[in-house]
Chains A and B, each alone.
Chain A
Amino acid sequence: MAGCRRLSGAGLREVLGPAQGVLFDCDGVLWAGERAVPGAPELLERLRRSGKAALFVSNNSRRSVAELERRFSRLGFRGVRAEHVFSSALCSALFLRQRLLGGGGDAGNGGGRVFVLGGEGLRGEVRDAGLRLAGEGESATGPAEPVRAVLVGYDDQFTFAKLAQACGYLRDPQCLLVATDPDPWHPLSDGQRTPGTGSLTAAVETASGRKALVVGKPNTYMFDCIVERFGVDPSRTLMVGDRLETDILFGKNCGLSTILTLTGVSRLEEAQAYMASDSAAAKDLVPNYYVDSIADLIPGLDE
């Protein structure tokens, strides 16, 4: 079982030295709201200079990777390009492209439409993957293409009517139910919380009697996307995140060593409670290491 040890001093060099790359969650790790975590841009710069790769894996399904690239730049992070960023919006679109268009089976009729519960960032990623959205660009005459997937993401315009509409599509057992991520809530900068995709997915699952396929952490699909594009070696890659139930479990599931940073959602006491628990599932939520902030990793890298 992971030991939840504070990473500092010589330990930093021992852990960071052999690493070829680091996967970072974004919210609560690199930034909180509109402010970068102090020292975070410098850490990324030092990683780059040490010849280590930095990739980003986020459950946040609000933004397209193009928007995220601009966000990185705006918050003072240099050299982060869209291709380094794996958001649940992007990966959900890739997943749906595989399932609906891949294998050639449905290529003739274009794979059907996707009903998206989410904002423009998510909808854009689905379109960019070559899929058609329900409710867009449909011809006025002739039968509509069947809806072959319902995609639940962060949808701050979610309504009862959309829930009912999703259920209508899901009466077809061939229609997939996919969720971008399982997060039940997200922190706001003033300490309040806003409901996450997980709460909307729970409503759709309950109404339809179906279980959603969840793309985001802690499931491993986003890591598969990373490996496909960059070919990382899990044994030489670290996962850094702020949420035990998603980031740290994701790291465990993908065979990565994990570092919890305390600038976000999870408290050290929660990690320690999981460590003291008798349940095997709880033990998987314990990080190998923790730091107060990712800026604490800087001394572990070459000058």
Chain B
Amino acid sequence: MAAMAGGGPRQCRRLEAEAARAVLGAADTLLFDCDGVLWRGEAAVGGAAATLGRLAAAGKRLCYVTNNSSRTRVAYTEKLRRLGFPPAEPRHIFGSAFCAARYLRQALPPGAAAYVLGSPALAAELEAVGIPHLGPGPAALPGPAPADWAQAPLDPAVRAVLVGFDEHFSYAKLCQALRYLLRGGSDCLLVGTNRDHRLPLEGGTGIPGTGCLVKAVETAAQREAFIVGKPNRYMFDCVVSEFNIDPARTIMVGDRLDTDILMGNSCGLTTLLTLTGVTTLDEVKGQEGGSALHSSIQDLLDHLVRCLVFCNCWHQRCWGPQLLPQLCPGWLAACPAHAPGPARPAEEPDGLGGQVQEHHHLLHNLAE
């Protein structure tokens, strides 16, 4: 079982056979990240739907915990259905849009409105909980220059600025957000759906993530946002309030150390890292370098890659003190050195680039 900080050395082991049966047997609930774990864009990860079908048939509760703020819960149930996953109800889906709306409903006085930098889905989730909102879509401001924008009337009801993924982000909207935050001071909440730097797309490209927009607002306003998404624990709190969850009997499955695994470990869950997502570990390295994490994560991730290539278990010596044990997943699904398929070169520090690791191992281990 995953040991928490101060609970002794963490070990990350490859999940297969006996260990898999034991770990899965001990769990009632599995929480799945979506992008990079279940699907990439519109393509399901091979074996994922069948795996989840088997887990559901075995009586496990399946929930979905995603930082992506561009879809409503209903839209996620649609996507799961479309890609062949077991049927899910909206109450099983914990997207950052839904959870941000829930947070604001708890945190705002009745009638207070939110100025939103975000998608129609984020607006829809606010609507669903009865929070008035303005802002989504292109900025609608008088005149072409900041001098004009500074004269635009501010809505007196706004008591929160909410930042999600916003393809219409612009200097004008940033201006408005800053004005609301300055007007309200500590009476105006600043909330971000998540800090992801990058939204990976198919083919290894990506676009800037919500974290960039949150950082722009935080820098201009010189204050820190409350972040709803992983690795913060608010989304797990939402799961707990919906279902009777025992953390010791819950597994968090994700593809990112700094969001999925960190949240899972912080909440006392068993954590399972899959290598199907974050495209390559290079991506993870690149993102870690840009995050606020400990500066030695780069070296430790290099250790990680070498360990995987030679199919060693990860030991405490690979990890530094303090923060890093929190990033060590309890289990690793699918070691590439044992993946079915063509033989791989022995020395390949970046050898995980582009490797698609299927869910076969997990599924195989679950069968009898």
Binding site for B on A (CB under 8 A): 155-161, 163-164, 167, 184-185, 188, 190, 192-196, 198-200, 202-210
Contacts and interface: CB of A to CB of B under 8 A. Distances in A.
A168 to B, nearest CB: 8
Contact of B219 (A199, A207, A209): A199
Interface stretch (B67-75, B210-218, B347-355): B210-218
Contacts of B289: 209
B174 A206 contact: no
Contact of B175 (A190, A194, A198, A208): A194
Interface of B: 145-147, 150, 166-172, 174-175, 178-179, 182, 197-198, 207-209, 211-213, 215-222, 286-287, 289-290
A155 B145 CA distance: 11
B169 A163 contact: yes
9 contacts: A163-B212, A164-B208, A167-B207, A190-B150, A192-B150, A195-B174, A203-B212, A206-B212, A207-B198
Contacts, number: 100
A207 B287 CA distance: 9
B216 A203 contact: yes
Given A157-B170, A203-B215, 11 more contacts: A155-B171, A159-B170, A163-B208, A184-B220, A184-B222, A193-B178, A196-B220, A202-B212, A202-B219, A207-B212, A209-B289
A251 B271 CA distance: 51
A203 B220 contact: no
Contact of A199 (B145, B208, B216, B287): B216
Nearest to A166: B208
Contacts of A155: 171
Contact of A203 (B150, B208, B222): B208
B215 A202 contact: yes
Contacts of B217: 199
Contact of A206 (B166, B179, B211, B221): B211
Contacts of B145: 156
A154 B212 CA distance: 17
Contacts of B167: 160-161
A205 to B, nearest CB: 7
Most buried by A among B168, B169, B182, B212: B212
Nearest to A210: B290
Contacts of A205: 215, 290
A194 B146 contact: yes
A204 B213 CA distance: 9
Contacts of B147: 188
A71 to B, nearest CB: 15
Contact of B169 (A157, A160, A188): A160
B175 A184 contact: no
B169 A159 contact: yes
Most buried by A among B207, B213, B216, B217: B216
Nearest to B171: A158
Nearest to A195: B220
